[in-house]
Amino acid sequence: MSSSAFEHISPAFPGRAPWGTSGRLRAWQSAALELYRATGSTDFLTVATPGAGKTTFALRVAAELLSARRVQRITVVCPTEHLKAQWAEAAAKVGIQLDPGLGGSSRGGRSRQYDGVVVTYAGVAARVFHHRARTENFKTLVIFDEIHHAGDALSWGDAIAEAFAPAVKRLALTGTPFRSDETPIPFVHYERGDDGALHSCADYSYGYADALRDHVVRPVVFMTYGGQMRWRTRAGDEVEADLAAPMTKDLTANAWRTALDPKGSWIPSVLAAANTRLSQVRNATPDAGGLVIASDRQLARAYAKILHSITGEAATVVLSDDAGSSKKIDEFAAGDSRWMVAVRMVSEGVDVPRLSVGVYATATSTALFFAQAVGRFVRTRRRGEVATIFLPTVPLLLSHASLLERERDHVIGKPKHAEDELWAPEEALIEQANRTEQASDDLLGSFEAIASSASFDHVLFDAQDYGLPAEPTSRDEADYLGLPGLLEPEQVATLLRERQRRQLSRQERQDRKDKVSPEVSLHRALETARKELNSLVSQYARTAGMPHSHVHAAVRRECGGPALAGCTTDQVRERTETLRRWLLHPGTGPR
């Protein structure tokens, strides 16, 4: 192991060094390293946002401990087979030789030239005592990459707790320290908070907001798309709903699944819009690539066919259970082709820095998966890069996107209210019944997508909404898709405000034309005016965080007049103009 190897690696800026090998430490990495040296504890948890450089930090720690002979071996535990190779390559570039065991050498012995091994969490669970023996025989540093995965299965957590208890040093890394369940994460310290629950405690944290401020990661612009969805239930009933409308959980899920059906119009329209955006980004960054995250193999292949028809270029399809998946990812990362379509595999830790545009075309809705997916697009190579991710207007996803900069902990035993505890037994029975009913529905085929359409809804950036609904390929949509590919965060916000102002001005001019258009039937004029008003109500409701009904009531109080159903066209237009004024001048309307 060459302790000076780090000094000969190029820095992250202006050109990005290979994954995990940046020689010049970033400010947060230096601060974390100083804290690590000062604490001297066996366990150390580092929480750093995806793309911030956790691997570089971990390899610097490993190099120092090996050089000082405080450890003799390194064991890296990571979630996937692809990441094993990625870790081994990164470590080799800084003079640390790790055996990823890809050739089966882990069972037949390994060369003494290696400084350690890279294994998966599942691999540790399969050979617990083998890894414990290695850890006991050598003073070992264990690096847990994305340690929240240690809670993915009870056996995994138990396995790493047993196998690596004898380690002299354990360094845990994660970009997303929270989980949706209450499975404790081994070797992570928890403290009881004011709410009575146990919260995970990081030794050093570096969040997305910090990294954004330091220009370590890209800002993310979310382009959201709604539209009308139509599907058939098991009972034969046809249901139609707006994807963006408030609905029950089941209706939202069915509308979402309908949007993702490749036979409808929603996904082809969104893929076409995403490809237009990618072309704009490639004007400034010629090798910029796009990623579509799909729900399953069948959908991934269907989306790839649609992309081929749009671009004339074959998309790279990565399926998690295909033997050649890692090679496909590596080839795409090193190339300049436009699109890759993946099923979950490219969701965490996989390094493809040229990914700049994403389409979230999966029905997976957990905050953890969403954060991991977004993390694939934030790795920066040059200052001014902006990531763009296309989302369906599903409220839960919009909430995840709005909270992107919020730091979270893993919470165990969050207390319930007294009335929650009272109903807990009944809720358990209902949940069990629902699982049984769901299983029956799945067997009988409870859902059939019939048709879908797409419409641009709004842009979400820095937890702020911009823009009004627009039809695909319209001038309004093109304005937002045409944002320059290289912008500072302040410039993004300024341009989005300007585009919103232009969109509102165009609609005002169109309103004036519609006002004087001759021989239009009253019912059609009222229908058009109400539709426009409802569109602005939706926009204001999102911006102000108010229910639609409250916005309607507020604008009625401001303008006077009857309920909407009894308004004249002039009264509806007066309310429309009032809402436009509130949107153009934040702070003038109700909150």
Percent of the chain predicted with pLDDT > 90:
44
| Cα–Cα dist 544/465, whole Å | 10
Please indicate, yes or no, if residue 303 is contained in any of the structural domains. Answer: yes
Last residue of a domain, one of 213, 245, 279: 213
User: Residues 296-303: what's their mean pLDDT?
Assistant: 95
Domain-embedded: residue 497: no
Buried b or exposed e, range 187-214, using 16+ CB within 10 angstroms:
bbbbeeeeeebbbbbbbbbbbbebbbee
Residue 517 main-chain phi, psi, to 5 deg: -65, 130
Task: pLDDT band for 507, please (50, 70, 90 cuts).
Answer: confident
Q: For residue 78, what pLDDT is reported?
A: 92
Both 243 and 373 in one domain: the answer is yes
**Overall pTM > 0.75:** no
Q: Answer whether residue 287 is part of any domain.
A: yes
Q: What is the pLDDT of residue 440?
A: 38
Does any domain span residue 419? Answer: no
Q: How confident is the model at residue 425 (pLDDT cuts 50, 70, 90)?
A: very low
Dump the DSSP string for 76-100: EEESSHHHHHHHHHHHHTTT--EE-
Confidence of residue 544 (pLDDT cuts 50, 70, 90): confident
The per-residue pLDDT of the chain, averaged, comes to 82
Q: What is the pLDDT of residues 54-80, one digit of tens each?
A: 999 999 999 999 999 999 999 999 988
Report if residue 333 sits inside a domain: yes
Find the mean pLDDT for residues 295-309: 95
Is 60 exceeded by the pLDDT of residue 2? no
Asked whether residue 492 is assigned to any structural domain, the reply reads: no
466 with 568, same domain: the answer is no
H-helix or E-strand spanning residue 442: helix 418-444
Across 120-134, 510-524, 557-571, which has the greatest mean pLDDT? 120-134
Clarify whether residues 209 and 314 are in a common domain.
no
Within a domain: 416: no
Residues 231 and 356 in one domain: yes
pLDDT tens string 345-366: 555 556 788 999 999 999 988 8
CATH of the domain at 44: 3.40.50.300
In this predicted structure, the answer to whether residue 465 has a pLDDT above a threshold of 80 is yes
The confidence score (pLDDT) of residue 517 equals 53
Q: Is the pLDDT of residue 570 over 60?
A: yes
pLDDT of residue 241: 92
> What's the number of domains the chain is made of?
3
Q: Do 352 and 377 sit in the same domain of this protein? A: yes
The per-residue pLDDT for 360 is 97
Helix spans in 116-171 (H) = 121-126, 128-137, 154-163
> Mean pLDDT highest for which of 2-16, 70-84, 401-415, 496-510?
70-84
Percent of the chain at pLDDT > 70 equals 82
Looking at the structure, tell me whether residues 26 and 105 fall in a common domain: yes
**Residue 527 and residue 566 share a domain:** yes
Looking at the fold, whether 463 and 538 belong to one and the same domain comes out as no
Are residues 471 and 524 located together in one domain of the fold? Answer: no
pLDDT digits (tens, 9 = 90+) for 8-46: 333 333 334 444 444 589 999 999 999 999 998 999 999
Q: Which domain holds residue 569?
A: 517-584
Which SS3 state, helix, strand or coil, does residue 310 take? Answer: helix
Q: Which of 157-166, 360-369, 408-417, 466-475 has the lowest mean pLDDT?
A: 408-417
502 falls within a domain = no
418 beta partners = none
Question: 409: which residues sit within 8 A by CB, 6+ positions away?
Answer: 177, 178, 199, 200, 201, 202
pLDDT of 423: 33
- pLDDT class of 275 with cuts at 50, 70, 90: very high
Answer positive or negative: Cα dihedral of 158, 164, 166, 170: negative
Report which of residues 530 and 171 the model is more confident about: 171
* Most distant CA pair in the chain, distance: 91
pLDDT score recorded for residue 192: 79
